[in-house]
Structure 1
Amino acid sequence: MLEQLQSALLDGLFQLLGVKKHEVKDAPRNTKQAIAASAALLLLFTCLLLAVMTGVMLHAFRSVAVNPSGVLTLPEDEAMVAGLGEAVDLCGLADYPKLPAQDLRRIEDVAFSLEGAFHFYRVASIHQTKGGGVRIEAEDGTRLLVQDGTVSFERRWFSKDAFTQDESVGLGGPAATLRIVQPDSRSG
């Protein structure tokens, strides 16, 4: 099958170059190598040209541009503001059960400190439980349950831990990052 594909590609190349197949069979070995090298260079040049054209198109047809200050502007008129807002919202871990489902789906990271140790988890799945709590599973397999002001978490190879807001410095403070762009409510 590989030989058939190779033969079909060579036949197509010969047609493209206007070379007859029997002329190549009778040609010396150096000529065959030169044709193969030319075909490889042509393929490389085509790929490079395609990459450059793709880069130019991506840059030329941007829908918004980001200033160093974080403001989204239209690319043709950088003075015209296209959007303003916070890129990251922070929410306390104890407040998770109060969040609406659409905000829970946006949570990407969970961070808290407990007994002097900082814990950071990338969220793999999150859902609300029947009891009014929130169950979070991190990418590393850590499971957290936030319910009634208590957080219990279970890590692989460690015993199950539970703590309340009073026991953790990071529990009531900023703990979850919700990566979203929201419209600025001040702009009217």
Structure 2
Amino acid sequence: GQYAKIDYTVEPGEPGTGYVFESAVIGGKVPKEFIPSVEKAFKVMMDKGPLIGFPLLDFKVTLTDGGFHAVDSSQMAFEAAGKAAYRQTLPKCGPQLLEPIMKVDVFVPDANVGDVIGDLNRRRGMMKSQEPGASSVRIKADVPLGEMFGYIGDLRSATSGRGQFSMEFSHYAPVPNNIVEKVREEVNARREARK
């Protein structure tokens, strides 16, 4: 048989910290040689997040206690216990779907500022600033990457080809609930199409 018992806590991590594993087991309740198997289990499982199957970011697992059997415990048993713990616990932790937010810099003629800001707002953009220049206005905004596809064509149309923009990754932010459902439907449709 196989025997492994683990007690653990799961909590959100600080943005950018990734997966953090800590053992707070005191004594020999979980022998040291089995602890890396629990850590590995969560690390392997985090590539398939509980919401839509996207990788999980920024969470901490603390192994707090457990138990073993002198004959029936093994690294494989503790890894299996870690995977089962992930499957049972993570969906209950309130995971959020995150999307990349881009720092967008747009340069447009004065006459087109209103149209361009309106378009960025429709793309769920958050305006940061407007800086008037000699012949154009610089608009800074944070916009979800998923909303930026096709932007160059729309910008050129709105500015008669005179608008320019650049963007770079800024951070991840939670996806609004109404959009999570759309993403879930699209991902499920793609998965079905591959079958």
Length-normalised TM-score, structure 1: 0.24
Structure of larger gyration radius: 1
Length-normalised TM-score, structure 2: 0.23
Q: Which has the higher contact order (CA 8 A, sep 6+)?
A: 2
